């Protein structure tokens, strides 16, 4: 087993980042312009990093798969962004944000990283306001806040129900400014298909031009991955259609550790599944839980009537409703963290109390809020979400309660990074959702935007210089080096192989099968037997894919099916790694729930004596099982406790 | 109540930017009305792939109406017959059994066709690169609450900032003008003290870039506003014009 060094600076928690910055190596302005950095991705992390690195003077090459950097999936985040500003005078502080995040993550995140995140959170809000992000304001002209799950203060800044959009457009505008100045060279509709390593360091990438189908080579002094998460492994998720884990997976196959792959988040408030043709699940913002009340009927016969369609939610009298979150968790009520809310919904539905035709839905009811605040105030706060719900379901949430069910949403796991956000491959960095670092086993609401922007604006632009400072003597790389040729040759062979299969099944139909295996065995509740079964079924599915997938068209041309097939080949392997990780972690924590490990009340049961570590998986070859290394988590400042949202 | 319907699709197929395109007709049976329009196209593509044909190429990504990637002229309307919704948020219950649905790409000089229903909208990025930002670097900015902003202005800025850059405005415009898009960004930033500083410079630079890229000018037909999936108001164009005129007067 390799000894894993996370390079956490010495000193008291609150001094670590300051000390790091005071003593790190920097690159002087004259040298910066001789250094090139590749950034893959233009979401909150990628766009903010690319813009900031270019402002500092580095030459940046930025890549995205969409037709414009403005379309990265960060744009779909609705609810808000956390920051320890304490503008509401409700007792918030950097320490409290740090503590809430550590606790929310079920004590499986790194203390030093999380503290730094909380520390820079305030700078993010300042930065975004300076860029012209139109956050919600009070009549006095100051910024408004709301509260989110798992916390007892109001620290979430928001821009209607479109906070992700506004923050991303802010980062996009900063990025656009640098593109206009020529400091960032932007490549849209380019997908990274391999990482190039020269003498043990990340030195470039191979991309596939999604319009011409041609493979292209790009070199730089360092590579930054900001390619998001991998929950589309499940086929149905709240991610965008093209969101994928392939770039990170290529890095894993080239030697980067993949950390905590089993830790994915299932978001409690999504519109329920309604048919086989369905392509994605739509999230309804967590902010709805501020005023909406979640319930199912108390009586089984009422649930049966709802499932049969003979009764509607509003027909069930108040005294026959079970507001189960308020019942089980009086202190936090409807605002418990996402993992807790999701499992509670599953528990009720498994017991037969589901409220739609599939029995897999619970009510989110605004009746009480409308009476308390008035319909106008509710519209003001949530109008766009209500409209969206009505368009999708053809039901009016002002009159009948919404129906929701948990869905895959976010991956806490990802590429392993140290305190400097560098992976185990020198010169390869990972930021935003594609790394594993800050959320432990469960991410709190409004923390993804915070982490993406913290990494991109305020952390990576510092830490990467510690690496680049000894690269100033290294001349620009040529892409005709043998390492580039070899990487291109192997991806070309992979494409040829895929195109040569000419089987009978479409990519999507195999992806749906993958989704079923994932949801059944590696979803909200997992057990050893099921996970072992999943590993076997995934092996069979991998074989099925590589012998029977059908891809029309040509490999060296625009080919939307080939794009999906390349991603699916990796999703199947990611699924398998998730199963291995979930099997190893014989405890329940955050989003990872092993049914063998729960309290008598059905709450998650951690085993801190055995599992206080980050699992860092190492690739060992095509048909070999991956090997796990451990980064032990030494909590020096916080005492891990059982999470309690009851009192 | 949603039910299953049979439909006929007339879809624009075009191999490449320079090649001649034409409509192909396809029959789809038993499409559930609860499916989204793009899910209906997924079903069509699955059918085409199973028949050994090339699937229809179209842009799409988030499928929740916010990324701005999806486009399509559906029965003569950008983003289809629903108001205030993108194509991905259009549901098949808007169509009836036996209906023929015509699907075309954006047709605008500013957006050349790439293949089938996919077009090149990089011109919009170039307009933003010309000035659609506040010129601040990361770090060294004042506290977020240092400058109070009237709620009304913040709300108006947010209304304008809701633009998703999909291109429906230019596609709907008989002049192929991108004025609604440009004005939304100019308005958002001009309404806020942080963006006010360089408001004139921004308006001039963005409009010059728009002209350079071959978009037409505005003749106030308001088709853009009517078809905008985010209901961006043409009052933003008025604000842009005021900004532009006052900038010109100062020159």
Residues B96 and B130 occupy one common structural domain: no
Mean pLDDT throughout A11-18? 96
CB contact (8 A) between residue B34 and residue A274:
yes
Contacts of B162 (CB under 8 A, 6+ apart): A160, A162, A165, B184, B230, B231, B232
Contacts of A212 (CB under 8 A, 6+ apart): A556, A557, A558
Chain A positions in Cβ-Cβ contact with residue B66 (cut-off 8 Å)? 75-76, 162, 164-165
Among A281-285, B108-112, B162-166, B167-171, the minimum mean pLDDT is found in A281-285
Mean pLDDT throughout A397-402? 94
> Residue B2's pLDDT band (boundaries 50, 70, 90)?
confident
Residues B24 and B88 occupy one common structural domain: yes
Q: What are A204's strand-pairing partners?
A: A196, A219
A630 φ, ψ (degrees, to nearest 5):
-115, 135
Mean pLDDT throughout A445-458? 96
Of B114, B129, B146, the last residue of a domain is: B114
CB of A46 closer than 8 Å to CB of A456: yes
Chain B positions in Cβ-Cβ contact with residue A143 (cut-off 8 Å)? 144-145
Residues B106 and B21 occupy one common structural domain: yes
Distance from CA of B75 to the nearest CA of A (A): 19
Mean pLDDT throughout B208-229? 96
Select the residue of A72, A132, A506 nearest B134 (Cβ to Cβ). A132
Distance from CA of A611 to the nearest CA of B (A): 36
| Greatest CA separation for chain A | 75
> Residue B55's pLDDT band (boundaries 50, 70, 90)?
very high
Distance from CA of A372 to the nearest CA of B (A): 23
Q: Using CA of residue B236, residue B241, residue B244, residue B246, what is the dihedral sign?
A: negative
Select the residue of B39, B121, B151 nearest A139 (Cβ to Cβ). B151
Q: What was the pLDDT predicted at A239?
A: 97
Q: What are B25's strand-pairing partners?
A: B10
Mean pLDDT throughout A120-125? 98
Say which residue, A624 or A257, is predicted with more confidence.
A257
Residues B74 and B147 occupy one common structural domain: no
Place of tokens 């409703």: A321
CA distance A486 to A494: 12
Of the candidates A293, A338, A526, A594, the residue annotated as catalytic is A338
B80 near A CB under 8 A: no
Residues B98 and B148 occupy one common structural domain: no
CB contact (8 A) between residue B139 and residue A458:
yes
In the CATH scheme, what is the code of domain A267-407? 3.90.700.10
CB contact (8 A) between residue A177 and residue B129:
yes
B143: nearest CA partner in chain A: A126
Residues B161 and B230 occupy one common structural domain: yes
CA distance B116 to B56: 6
Q: Using CA of residue B59, residue B62, residue B68, residue B70, what is the dihedral sign?
A: positive
> Residue A465's pLDDT band (boundaries 50, 70, 90)?
very high
Q: What are B10's strand-pairing partners?
A: B25, B102
Residues B129 and B234 occupy one common structural domain: yes
CB contact (8 A) between residue A131 and residue B145:
no
Note the pLDDT tens digit of each residue in A502-541.
Answer: 999 999 999 999 999 999 999 999 999 999 999 999 999 9
Residue A2 pLDDT exceeds 60: no
CA distances from A120 to A2, A166, A177, B104, B147 (A): 32, 19, 23, 47, 20
B122 near A CB under 8 A: yes
> Residue A147's pLDDT band (boundaries 50, 70, 90)?
confident
CB of A256 closer than 8 Å to CB of A224: no
Summary mean pLDDT of chain B: 96
DSSP state of A454: I
Q: Is B15 exposed, middle or buried (0-12, 13-18, 19+ CB in 10 A)?
A: middle
In the CATH scheme, what is the code of domain A482-610? 1.20.58.100
Say which residue, A335 or A495, is predicted with more confidence.
A495
B123 near A CB under 8 A: no
Share of chain A above pLDDT 90, in %: 90
Q: What was the pLDDT predicted at A319?
A: 96
The residue segments making up the domain with residue B13 are: 4-114
A77 near B CB under 8 A: no
CB of A402 closer than 8 Å to CB of A365: yes
CA distance A517 to A531: 10
Note the pLDDT tens digit of each residue in A244-255.
Answer: 999 999 999 999
Q: What was the pLDDT predicted at A327?
A: 96
Distance from CA of A72 to the nearest CA of B (A): 7
Find the CATH number of the domain harbouring B49: 3.10.20.30
A433-447: b or e for each residue (b if 16 or more CB lie within 10 Å)? bbbbbbbbbbbbbbb
CA distance A110 to A435: 13
Please identify among residues 93-152 of chain A the ones whose CB lies closer than 8 Å to any CB of chain B.
Answer: 123, 125-143
Where do you find CATH 3.90.700.10 in chain A? Answer: 267-407
User: Is A338 noted as a catalytic residue in this protein?
Assistant: yes
CB contact (8 A) between residue B122 and residue A67:
yes
A391 near B CB under 8 A: yes
Q: In which region does residue B79 sit, left (phi positive, over 0), alpha (psi from -120 to 50) or beta (all else)?
A: left
A109-142: b or e for each residue (b if 16 or more CB lie within 10 Å)? bbbbbbbbbbbbbbbbbbbbbbbbbbbbbeeeeb
Structural domain count, chain B: 2
Of B87, B114, B141, the last residue of a domain is: B114
A175 φ, ψ (degrees, to nearest 5):
-65, -45
Chain B positions in Cβ-Cβ contact with residue A553 (cut-off 8 Å)? 54
B43 near A CB under 8 A: yes
Note the pLDDT tens digit of each residue in B209-219.
Answer: 999 999 999 99
Mean pLDDT throughout A45-57? 98
CA distance B158 to A134: 5
CB of A422 closer than 8 Å to CB of A92: no
Of B64, B98, B114, the last residue of a domain is: B114
CB contact (8 A) between residue B115 and residue A558:
yes
CB of A45 closer than 8 Å to CB of A456: yes
pTM of the model: 0.97
Q: Which candidate, B206, B183, B179, B197, places its Cα nearest to that of B134?
A: B197
Residues B103 and B131 occupy one common structural domain: no
> Residue A274's pLDDT band (boundaries 50, 70, 90)?
confident
Distance from CA of B204 to the nearest CA of A (A): 15
Q: In which region does residue A618 sit, left (phi positive, over 0), alpha (psi from -120 to 50) or beta (all else)?
A: beta
Residues B39 and B155 occupy one common structural domain: no
Q: What was the pLDDT predicted at A631?
A: 96
> Residue A160's pLDDT band (boundaries 50, 70, 90)?
confident
Find the CATH number of the domain harbouring B172: 1.10.1060.10
Note the pLDDT tens digit of each residue in A555-613.
Answer: 999 999 999 999 999 999 999 999 999 999 999 999 999 999 999 988 899 999 999 99
Where do you find CATH 1.20.58.100 in chain A? Answer: 482-610
Residue A29 pLDDT exceeds 90: yes
CB of A20 closer than 8 Å to CB of A464: no
Q: Which stretches of A319-381 are assigned E, i.e. beta strand?
A: 321-322, 362-365
CA distance B220 to A33: 47
Q: What was the pLDDT predicted at A161?
A: 83
Select the residue of B34, B66, B188 nearest A76 (Cβ to Cβ). B66
Q: In which region does residue B34 sit, left (phi positive, over 0), alpha (psi from -120 to 50) or beta (all else)?
A: alpha
Please identify among residues 202-231 of chain B the ones whose CB lies closer than 8 Å to any CB of chain A.
Answer: none
CB contact (8 A) between residue B35 and residue A277:
yes
Q: Other C-beta atoms within 10 Å of B155: how many?
A: 16
Distance from CA of B78 to the nearest CA of A (A): 18
Residue A437 pLDDT exceeds 70: yes
Residue A544 pLDDT exceeds 70: yes
Residue A150 pLDDT exceeds 80: no
Note the pLDDT tens digit of each residue in A362-390.
Answer: 999 999 999 999 999 999 888 888 988 99
Select the residue of A126, A140, A280 nearest B143 (Cβ to Cβ). A126
Residues B229 and B110 occupy one common structural domain: no
CB contact (8 A) between residue A180 and residue B130:
yes
Q: What are B102's strand-pairing partners?
A: B10
Distance from CA of A146 to the nearest CA of B (A): 16
CB contact (8 A) between residue A68 and residue B52:
no
Residue A238 pLDDT exceeds 90: yes
Q: In which element (H, E) is residue B20 found?
A: none
Select the residue of B49, B121, B150 nearest A561 (Cβ to Cβ). B49
CB contact (8 A) between residue B194 and residue A176:
no
In 3-state terms, what secondary structure has residue A540?
helix
Select the residue of B149, B164, B194 nearest A141 (Cβ to Cβ). B149
Residues B184 and B236 occupy one common structural domain: yes
Q: What was the pLDDT predicted at A559?
A: 97
Residues B80 and B155 occupy one common structural domain: no
CB contact (8 A) between residue B134 and residue A125:
no
């Amino acid at each position: 087993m390799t000894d894993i060094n996370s390079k956490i600076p010495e000193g008291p928690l609150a001094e670590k980042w300051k000390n790091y910055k005071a003593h790190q190596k920097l690159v002087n302005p004259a040298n910066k312009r001789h250094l090139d950095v590749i950034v893959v991705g233009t979401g909150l992390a990628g766009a903010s990093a690319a813009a900031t690195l270019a402002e500092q003077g580095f030459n940046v090459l930025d890549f995205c798969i969409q037709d414009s950097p403005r379309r990265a999936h960060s744009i779909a985040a609705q609810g808000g962004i956390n920051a320890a500003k304490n503008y509401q005078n409700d007792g918030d502080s950097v320490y409290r944000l740090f503590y809430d995040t550590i606790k929310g993550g079920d004590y499986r995140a790194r203390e030093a990283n999380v503290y730094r995140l909380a520390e820079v959170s305030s700078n993010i809000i300042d930065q975004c306001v300076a860029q012209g992000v139109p956050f919600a304001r009070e009549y006095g002209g100051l910024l408004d806040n709301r509260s989110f799950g798992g916390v007892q203060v109001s620290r979430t800044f928001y821009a209607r129900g479109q906070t992700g959009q506004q923050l991303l457009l802010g980062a996009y505008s900063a990025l656009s400014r640098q593109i206009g100045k020529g400091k960032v060279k932007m490549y849209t509709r380019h997908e990274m298909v391999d990482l190039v390593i020269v003498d043990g360091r990340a030195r470039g990438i191979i991309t596939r031009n999604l319009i011409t189908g041609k493979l292209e080579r790009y070199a730089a002094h360092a590579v930054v991955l900001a390619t998001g998460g991998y929950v589309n492994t499940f086929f149905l998720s709240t991610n965008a259609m093209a969101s994928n884990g392939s770039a990170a997976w290529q890095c894993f196959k080239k030697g980067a550790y993949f950390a905590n792959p089993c830790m994915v988040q299932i978001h409690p408030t999504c519109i329920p599944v309604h048919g086989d043709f369905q392509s994605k699940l739509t999230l309804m913002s967590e902010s709805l839980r501020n005023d909406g009340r979640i319930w199912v009927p108390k009586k089984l016969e009422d649930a049966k009537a709802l499932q049969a369609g003979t009764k509607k939610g509003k027909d069930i009298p108040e005294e026959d409703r079970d507001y189960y979150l308020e019942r089980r968790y009086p202190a936090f009520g409807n605002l418990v963290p996402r993992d807790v809310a999701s499992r509670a919904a599953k528990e009720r539905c498994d017991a037969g109390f589901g409220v739609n035709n599939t029995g897999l839905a619970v009510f989110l009811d605004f009746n009480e809020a409308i009476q308390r605040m008035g319909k106008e105030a509710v519209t003001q706060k949530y109008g766009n979400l209500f409209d969206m719900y009505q368009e999708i379901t053809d039901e009016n949430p002002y009159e009948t309660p919404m129906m929701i069910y948990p869905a895959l949403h976010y991956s806490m796991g990802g590429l392993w990074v140290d305190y400097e956000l560098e992976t185990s491959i020198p010169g390869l960095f990972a930021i935003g959702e594609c790394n594993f670092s800050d959320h432990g086993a469960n991410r709190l609401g409004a923390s993804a935007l915070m982490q993406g922007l913290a990494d991109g604006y305020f952390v990576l632009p510092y830490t990467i210089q510690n690496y680049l400072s000894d690269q100033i003597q290294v001349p620009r790389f040529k892409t005709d080096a043998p390492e580039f040729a070899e990487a291109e040759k192997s991806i070309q062979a992979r494409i040829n192989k895929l195109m040569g299969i000419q089987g009978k099944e479409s990519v999507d139909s195999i992806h749906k099968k993958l989704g079923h295996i994932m949801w059944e065995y590696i979803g909200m509740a997992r057990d050893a037997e099921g996970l072992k079964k999943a590993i076997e079924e995934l092996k069979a599915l991998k074989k099925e894919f590589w012998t029977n997938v059908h891809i029309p068209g040509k490999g060296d041309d625009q080919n939307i099916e080939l794009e999906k097939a390349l991603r699916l080949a990796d999703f199947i392997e990611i699924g398998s790694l998730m199963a291995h990780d979930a099997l190893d972690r014989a405890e329940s924590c955050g989003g990872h729930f092993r049914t063998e490990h729960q309290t008598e009340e059905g709450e998650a049961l951690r085993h801190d004596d055995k599992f206080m570590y980050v699992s860092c998986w190492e690739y060992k070859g095509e048909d070999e099982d991956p090997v796990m290394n451990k980064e032990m988590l030494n909590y020096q400042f916080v005492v891990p406790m059982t999470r309690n949202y009851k009192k | 109540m949603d039910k299953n319907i049979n439909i006929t699709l007339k879809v624009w197929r075009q191999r490449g930017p320079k090649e001649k395109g034409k409509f192909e007709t396809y029959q789809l049976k038993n499409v559930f009305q609860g499916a989204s329009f793009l899910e209906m196209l997924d079903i069509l593509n699955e059918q085409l792939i199973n028949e050994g044909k090339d699937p229809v190429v179209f842009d799409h990504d988030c499928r929740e109406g916010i990324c701005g990637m999806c486009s399509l002229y559906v029965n003569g309307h950008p983003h289809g017959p629903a108001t205030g919704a993108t194509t991905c948020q259009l549901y098949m219950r808007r169509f009836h059994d036996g209906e023929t649905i015509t699907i075309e790409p954006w047709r605008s000089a500013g957006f050349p066709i790439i293949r089938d229903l996919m077009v090149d909208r990089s011109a919009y990025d170039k307009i933003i690169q010309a000035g659609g930002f506040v010129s601040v670097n990361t770090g060294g900015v004042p506290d977020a609450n240092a400058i109070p902003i009237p709620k009304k202005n913040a709300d108006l800025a947010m209304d304008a900032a809701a633009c998703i850059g999909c291109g429906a405005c230019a596609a709907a415009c008989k002049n192929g003008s991108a004025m609604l898009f440009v004005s939304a960004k100019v308005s958002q930033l001009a309404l806020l003290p942080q963006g006010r500083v360089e408001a004139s410079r921004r308006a001039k630079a963005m409009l010059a870039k728009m002209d350079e890229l071959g978009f037409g000018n505005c003749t106030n037909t308001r088709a853009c506003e009517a078809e905008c999936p985010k209901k961006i108001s043409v009052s933003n164009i008025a604000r842009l014009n005021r900004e532009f005129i006052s900038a010109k007067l100062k020159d």
